[in-house]
A and B are shown apart, each in its own frame.
Chain A
Amino acid sequence: MLRSTSPLLSLFAFLLVWGAALVSAVSTTGNRLLAVFDDVGEKENYSKFLGDLEGRGFQISYETPKSESLALFHLGERAYDHVIFFPTKTKGLGPNLTPQILVNFLNANGNILHTLSSTTTTPNTLISLLAELDITLPTERTGLVVDHFSYDTLSAAETHDVLALPPPVPVRNDISPLFSADAPAGQLLAFPHGVGAVLGPREQLTPILRAPKTAYSYNPKEQSEVLEANELFAAGQQLSLVTAFQAINSARFVLLGSAEMLQDKWFLAEVAAPGGKSVKTFNREFAKRVSAWAFQELGVLRVNWIEHHLNEVSAVNESNPHIYRVKNDVTYTISLSEYAYDKWTSFSLPANDVLQLEFSMLSPFHRLPLSLDKAHSSPEASAYTASFKLPDQHGIFNFKVNYKRPFFTNIEEKNTVSVRHMAHDEWPRSFVISGAWPWIAGIGATVSGWVVFVALWMYSAPTDKKVGSKKTN
């Protein structure tokens, strides 16, 4: 029910046209992808993964950290939209890729996919970057995750360092099962020679894949024989194998514990858990989804328009007014779309999750669930709506949709409206209030008494009665 073209709407219309013009760009934020290898030749190992990316429309540039021409920014603008770091053996990544530049890259809406391997130590640069994101890697910058319960019996029967895991389920039941949805039954994810990380308490972090309960990380160089009790880095579900980080501006960072799982070899391999049949790996699909998430092809939400209006019988038909009155009935509608690889689709909430609208001044006065409004939804966009009565407090309020969920673009929409007090002529009239009737009657009595008194005072003749004459004098 768009009553008038809001500036927001026209902006989105413009964006839509603009988006349509760039047919080849499939990611919502651009298709310039930088892949950083120690040696560009290594890319052959990842040909299927990189081929898939190119197939999805990315233009991949290959660089090594040593390359002097490598620059993430050109004249203050991002030179690339996304970066993949493959394991490099160098100690640092050089002056072109300092942690500050990488954080700035995230701040400028760039996305980073960072892969680790237990066979190479992670460069200091990336360790510092991870520290800024509250992710900790094992000391000595390397570690190996093993699990004596769920390893691939085909390739690591002795070493147990290729984990064979079911496709990851979300860590909570209200999180979108983006990475495991529609996974073929029985397929296993091979996680060869991976490094686990420990995540800090920050809310921007979400593990995509956590290690199973019995898995643990150790240093294969020093702890291959004996794992001293006090030297354990982390074990079980505290060990995150694949980690998603989404900054406040929705820039994404993925830490993939095993670079090897992206290699062609593991895309094609079959794995078997102890006591299980050998099955095809889920790696190719998982790699697709993880990279698609990291590069803004999955889990990207867009606000198409927001509209609020008075929901009263005799109301003026105005969209998004700047001012309401206390205790007005209003309706708020927000239209959302979700991007899936190459097109915008209607956004449907994950099971157990709700989209909430806050009406707040300093703190929320209302926090209400928004329900799907079929009348304003389409295959490309779904509208969510809520109707409510404004609080009986005047002030400057915000309609606030703060939909921040793991794996979804942060949506923080604030529409400021003033809520004014009752104007002097908006109160019920006194004759409507029954308690006022005696007072109104009093006014009537006074007025009629006065008029008659004036008449009597002017035109009454004195009487003989003594009392009467006294009165009229």
Chain B
Amino acid sequence: MSAETLQVLADVGKGKSTRGVLRVIILALIAGASIASRLFSVIRFESIIHEFDPWFNFRATKYLVANGFYNFWDWFDDRTWHPLGRVTGGTLYPGLMVTSGAIWHALRALTIPVDIRNVCVLLAPAFSGLTAVAAYLLTNEMTTYNSAGLLAALFMGIAPGYISRSVAGSYDNEAIAIFLLVFTFYLWIKALKQGSMLWGALCALFYGYMVASWGGYAFITCLLPLHAFVLILMGRYSTRLYVSYTTWYALGTLASMQIPFVGFLPVKTSEHMPALGIFGFLQLLAFLDYVRSAIPSRQFQTFLWLFAGGIFVMSLAALVVATSAGVIAPWSGRFYSLWDTGYAKIHIPIIASVSEHQPTAWPAFFFDLNLLIFVFPVGVYLCFQELADEHVFIIVYAVFGSYFAGVMVRLMLTLTPVVCVAGAIAISTILNNYLVAKTPTEEDQQAAEAAEKKGSKSGLKSATKPVVGIYGLWSKSLMVAGMAVYLLIFVMHCTWVTSNAYSSPSVVLASRMPDGSQHIIDDYREAYQWLRQNTKEDAKIMSWWDYGYQIGGMADRPTLVDNNTWNNTHIATVGKAMSSREEVSYPIMRQHEVDYVLVVFGGLLGYSGDDINKFLWMVRIAEGIWPDEVSERAFFTPRGEYRVDGEATETMKNSLMYKMSYYNFNNLFPPGQAVDRMRQARLPEVGPSLSTLEEAFTSENWIIRIYKVKDLDNVGRDHISATAFEKGLKKKKTTKKRGPRVLRVD
């Protein structure tokens, strides 16, 4: 390829308007690509809501659409957390539902009849397009290269770290929150750069939207003050900072307090204190700045700075005192677990039991970000080189984002935008350096050398830029080609990950038959449909909390606990019922008016996400509340093994969960041959017996098993003897009674 053809190609993008049109077209294509790559799940399976939390969001959206905004706002949900109920309207982030409700109403106003389900399913892909645009805008604030913005948009659009939470059907808060996060950051940078109240107010507006949408808003609440604080420490206090920060904080806090779930938290809890503290500190600095301009004495200035520092330290001390006195709520347990990864496991098993709260494994970074994880530090380094206010932001964001992403898997999501931005900066810098076909002329070189001579006298050596570099066309094209290959691999990787890892609805499982054809395992929906059609409308279903939202959404039956884990005691009660003997569990189930118990069992199919595998968490959570009655130790063999076969402990074998999982299981096999394929354990020849429950339903692959809770025995016996009597066993003569005899009292 000659230099001339390159020139022709480059000329196409020369004109300003041509470039603008090109940019718009490219952005539109990127948005289209990011939407398209999220549609795998709809094409592979169907337009269905995925996983767990989305089912609740979907149900809430349906309620919103059916009952209107104010009823949704005051929604008391009597079909979850039986019998406590949940003040759902006041304990959720309504942004997602209100967004899709608004879209649905808008489409209806445009006479486009569309099912609310489809709005919900496709909301996340639609917003991912917007996220790509927001990433473009944010990156453009960092660098003068427009290509960086386009690259960032592309990365943002297809990075698996973001796709993991935004495929079609993944109708979760994060679906819109990531867009809001990036866009709020963009507005913040804009406001800071211009010192503009208007941009600050817009930033506050989108911050308010973010608060309405996702609990992760605290990330913004902490990152912006941190950015401001770092700027102050760098001696970069300015009226721009003052105007943008105070505008954002005042309006943003007011906006966030409008959400019932947030309410007065911004002035009451430690998580929000940095923002308030920096707000106060900025007032102080502004005042000092004013005084300084009025009084020119140097000593006095020093005194003032000391004064400011003193006040800062004092207010910090006051914060500590107020926290310990309980005026300000201390850091919540979820927050502690961000600093000490072992904290949750010991103190709050309910948090630790969630798989997405586990620390991230290293390969996950490569898996979710691929190429970007390597160029990300380069981008950060480039930010150091420029180090304007906005670059400080990227650096601060990068540091904290990577830390949190390392602590918790789900926070990979907040890291992804900065990785995309920094990666785009790095790659665009590389491309910009190597795609220029021009070689410096002799004059240029001489001029540069002259400049170097001058510079070496006055400034630091590193501040000058010698004209050294690679000018050979071959090396350039090699580099560019290498980069292009990397980028292609990145796209392929992203597509592969999206298609294989993140597009499964997890409600429907897919497996491969020996001949390679796809086999759909639809036990979940089979069981939920059974519940919907065969039980009373107010039949209470007890299950582990993972399935609460799905039962509520798909089976439309009240549940005891669900994925909104607001009441640890209630969850522990279910844990206790599952991990205790039948005689202990039965009164608990009676008290909670349980009609059916649902367990997930993977022993027949080798399905790993079943309840026996989660069982230890139930035990741990129950033990947290009733340490005398439930003991984790009792579920391990003396050699410390967690077993389900013949050598399982008595506590394990007598626990309701074990019995429900393996009830009648050995009837599927020849005598003595029963094998749990999940745990590769040979089960005892005699299976467990149940007396307080009766099997009501077992799905095709035995993944879901539903049991009905028996009524009290009509003639007042306990269930075990009633069952024994039914089987025709002779009642044992209880002539020899232990203890003193008891007279009948009437």
Contact = CB atoms under 8 A, between A and B. Distances in A.
Interface string B702-746: 000000000111111100000001101001000000000011111
A204 B82 CA distance: 30
Interface of A, helix, strand, loop or mixed by DSSP: mixed
A48 interface: no
Contacts of A395: 83-85
B76 A201 contact: no
A469 to B, nearest CB: 15
Given A421-B76, A424-B260, A238 B731 contact: no
Contacts, number: 89
B90 A248 contact: no
Contact of B87 (A128, A200, A421): A421
Contacts of A74: none
Contact of B731 (A128, A204, A248): A128
A107 B716 CA distance: 11
A131 B76 contact: no
A131 B592 contact: no
A418 B87 contact: no
B268 to A, nearest CB: 17
B74 interface: yes
B444 interface: no
Contact of B716 (A100, A131, A247, A420): A247
Nearest to A139: B735
Contacts of A249: 714
Contacts of A419: 85
Contacts of A22: none
Given A394-B85, A421-B90, A134 B716 contact: yes
Interface in B41-72: 70
A126 interface: no
Interface residues of A, number: 42
B317 to A, nearest CB: 29
A203 interface: yes
B73 interface: yes
Interface in B82-111: 82-85, 87, 90
B78 interface: yes
A248 B76 contact: no
Interface in A221-273: 238, 245, 247-249, 251
A202 interface: yes
15 contacts: A100-B726, A100-B728, A103-B715, A132-B725, A201-B742, A206-B746, A245-B715, A248-B714, A394-B84, A394-B87, A396-B82, A396-B85, A416-B538, A418-B78, A424-B70
Contacts of A128: 731
- Return the 9 tightest CB-CB contacts between A and B, nearest first: A420-B76, A171-B746, A423-B74, A418-B78, A396-B83, A204-B716, A247-B714, A107-B714, A202-B716
B591 interface: yes
A133 B76 CA distance: 45
Given A202-B716, A323-B76, A424-B260, 4 more contacts: A106-B714, A207-B746, A248-B716, A419-B85
Given A171-B746, A207-B746, A106 B85 contact: no
A132 B78 contact: no
A397 interface: yes
Interface string A83-102: 00000000000000001100
A203 B716 contact: yes
Interface string B526-570: 000000000000100000000000000000000000000000000
A133 B715 contact: yes
A172 interface: yes
B738 to A, nearest CB: 15
A361 B85 CA distance: 11
Nearest to B726: A100
Interface in A353-403: 361-362, 394-397
Interface residues of B, number: 31
A99 B78 contact: no
B589 to A, nearest CB: 12
Contacts of B726: 100
Interface string A18-40: 00000000000000000000000
A406 B350 CA distance: 47
Contacts of B743: 238
A178 interface: no
Interface of A: 99-100, 103, 106-107, 128, 131-134, 171-172, 198-204, 206-207, 238, 245, 247-249, 251, 323, 361-362, 394-397, 416, 418-421, 423-425
A206 B716 CA distance: 13
A14 B76 CA distance: 36
A361 B83 contact: yes
B84 A131 contact: no
B74 A362 contact: no
B636 to A, nearest CB: 32
A99 B717 CA distance: 14
Contacts of A394: 76, 84-85, 87
Nearest to B742: A201
A362 B588 CA distance: 10
A202 B713 CA distance: 12
Contacts of B85: 394-396, 418-420
B70 to A, nearest CB: 8
A199 B87 CA distance: 49
A397 B745 CA distance: 33
A362 B83 contact: yes
Contact of A397 (B83, B260, B713, B717): B83
A424 B73 contact: yes
Q: Which of B70, B84, B85 has the most CB of A within 10 A?
A: B85
A202 to B, nearest CB: 5
Contacts of A397: 83
A30 to B, nearest CB: 18
Contacts of A131: 731
Nearest to A200: B744
Contacts of B715: 103, 106-107, 132-133, 204, 245, 247-248
Contact of B746 (A172, A198, A245, A248): A172
Contacts of B745: 201
Contacts of A201: 742, 744-745
The CB with the most chain B CB atoms within 10 A, among A131, A203, A419, is that of A131
Contacts of A323: 76, 78
B725 A199 contact: no
A323 to B, nearest CB: 7
Contacts of A361: 83-84
Nearest to A418: B78
A424 B714 contact: no
A132 B85 CA distance: 40
Contacts of B714: 103, 106-107, 247-249, 251
A251 B714 CA distance: 9
Contacts of A100: 725-726, 728
For B70, B73, B714, which residue has the most chain A Cβ atoms within 10 angstroms? B714
Most A-side CB within 10 Å, residue of B260, B715, B725: B715
Nearest to A236: B743
Contacts of B728: 100
A238 B744 contact: yes
Interface centre among B73, B84, B712, B728 (most CB of A within 10 A): B84
Nearest to B725: A132
